[in-house]
Amino acid sequence: MDETQETAFQREVEVAQAAGIIALGNIASRVLGVVRDTVKADLFGAAGSLSAYEVAALVPTMIYDLLVGGMSNAALVPVLSDYTAPERRAELWHLLGRLLSLVVIALSVFVLLAEVLAPQVVWLLGGGLPPDLQALATRLLRICVPAVLFLNLAGVVSGTLYALKRFAFPAFTAAVFNAAVVVAALLLSKRWGVTSLAVGLLVGSILQIVLQWPGLRDVRWRFALDLSHPALRRIMRLYVPIFLGLMVDQSAVALSYNLASRTGDRSINWMRYSATLIQFPLGLIATAVSIAILPTLSRQATGGRSGLFKDTLARGLRLVLALTIPATVGLWVLATPIVALVFEHGGFTPADTLATVAALRCHLVGLIFAAVDQPLIFAFYARKDTWTPALVGVATVILYVILALAPMLVVSLTLNGLILANSLKLVAHALIMLVLLQHRMGGLSGHGMWGLVFRVAVASAVMGGAVHLVVEGMAWVVPAGLIGEALLVGGGGLAGAAIYGVLAVLLRVEEVGLLGRALLEWGRRLTGPGR
């Protein structure tokens, strides 16, 4: 292996290892997210009171996504990455202090306004809920809304640590957040009902900051409101189009909740439960890979190394495709036993299972495209181009609104129709981004993308058929209830993983082997001498 090949291999392993660390955090987060929703389903089922909580909890999430969450990967990490060299660390800490100061002042004002205007906010998001549930949502929102400040502070810290390639601390923030909601629900629900969930959300947002603080052990910063730093202006310049695009996108989210609330007081819960299962592969695969490659892409874009830039992006996309396509097929085949296993306890009925499975399969229509879209968006962010993804986002949100509302002219509004419209929006966004990538950067020809898609699709189709037969056969012999569902999910999942793994090797899907080697190397380093 010559020096160039060795360097390329080291970059591949570095990306895979970084993705592995982030994936571990995402595994913890997604597992605890499923546990959180399992606890919610057991304690509250899909009752209207839980819909009231979901409306209240949406506000901190929306504001985080609109502000620091949307800014982090688009502007924070690419800009802060320019200041991570040892000789520029003092300037980085100076910049961080001003960012945190700005967030504290601006969002403290927002929290006060949201406390006062809580009834109006609830009406915008859940206007279809009965008056008593809107009143409950208002009370819950006033508990949840201070989390806006803490979530965004934690987001600034996360962006800084990702730029420094200190992945471990921010990778587990979402896991801590979900754990806090679970613990609060288990300890407080008998006395406080759904209010316990709001308390857990607030505590979890604070714990996100506490968890990450050790990662800033060498930081020297002070509170100061000074907007004159050129990096702040660069961040704002990059963020403005993202903000405008996210404003439109979050308006679509608000519309989807409002419309879902008009299809029944349990519909928001079915939508949220199914979305939790979709977020598992998205976070575990697409988000992990995208965050892992972003600092490298940013440096390669800054250095004008277009060939290396496209190589890194192609490796990320190939890894996403090799894992997301079989995950989508597996979720489709195992949808019913998975939903029954995870949620059908306590107040969650078999009818809720059927409704959630239908919603899940509507989500799955757009899953592969949503997963591919994330690295594509990050590639534009790394090139300091935030306008293109924002404008594409605006166009596809308009498409979503048309697809969601047009059927109302001839048929009644349905939850599955709303979710399917959102999935088609994701499909359109990914396809447009691929076309723009081809136009702006010359595409990724020569990286074997279509050949990989074909091989992975064949392996996934065979795996899906085999898993279906395995589950159908097991259904005749496993006992009814929780144990039977666990056996179906476990047996079908293990069979699917084994079959896909063998087929991936036979069809030379190299990414599966690369991921395995990277995880083994990472484990060796953790357990090696001096550890």
What is the distance between the alpha carbons of residues 367 and 56, in angstroms, rounded to a whole number? 26
Q: Which of 441, 440, 377, 324 is nearest to 73 (CA)?
A: 377
The answer as to whether 111 is a domain residue is: yes
- For the chain, give the number of residues: 531
Q: What 3-state class would DSSP assign to 530?
A: coil
The end-to-end CA distance of the chain, in Å, is 29
The answer to whether position 32 is within a domain reads: no
Tell whether 178 is covered by a domain.
yes
3-state SS, residue 305? coil
* 494: number of Cβ within 10 Å: 12
CA distances (Å), origin 496, targets 240, 334, 491: 44, 10, 8
Please tell me the total count of domains within the chain. 1
Amino acid at 347: G
**Residue 204 · residue 181 · CB < 8 Å:** yes
Query: What is the widest separation between alpha-carbon atoms in the chain?
Result: 71
| Residue 234: Cβ-neighbour burial (10 angstroms; 0-12, 13-18, 19+) | middle
- Residue 378 has a pLDDT of 84
* 200 belongs to a structural domain: yes
Nearest CA to 60 among 150, 129, 139?
A: 150
Give 186-229 as a DSSP string: HHHHHHHTTHHHHHHHHHHHHHHHHHHGGGGTT-----------
- Asked if 291 and 73 touch (Cβ cutoff 8 Å), the reply is yes
Nearest to 286 by CA among 384, 376, 374, 412: 374
Mean per-residue pLDDT pooled into runs of 10, the chain (531 residues): 52 62 78 89 86 92 83 73 75 81 90 94 89 94 95 88 80 92 95 95 95 78 72 81 81 87 88 88 80 76 72 85 93 94 87 94 95 89 83 91 84 89 95 88 71 92 95 87 88 92 85 63 54 43
**d(Cα 372, Cα 461) in Å, to the nearest integer?**
19
Residue 530: its pLDDT value, please?
A: 45
- Contact call for residues 246 and 72 (beta carbons, < 8 A): no
| Residue at 281 is within a domain | no
Domain extent for 254: 48-265
Residue 373 is assigned to a structural domain of this protein: no
The SS3 assignment for 480 reads coil
On whether the CB atoms of residues 46 and 350 are closer than 8 A, the answer is: no
Q: Cα separation of 415 and 256, whole Å?
A: 9
Is residue 43 one of the residues assigned to a domain? no
pLDDT reported for residue 531: 43
Token digits for 424?
Answer: 């088609």
Structure tokens at 418: 């709303």
pTM of the model: 0.76
Is residue 143 one of the residues assigned to a domain? yes
Helices (H) and strands (E) in the chain, counts: 23, 0
- Give pLDDT, residue 313: 85
Q: How far apart are CA 235 and CA 244, in angstroms?
A: 14
* Percentages (nearest 5) of helix, strand, coil residues in the chain: 85, 0, 15
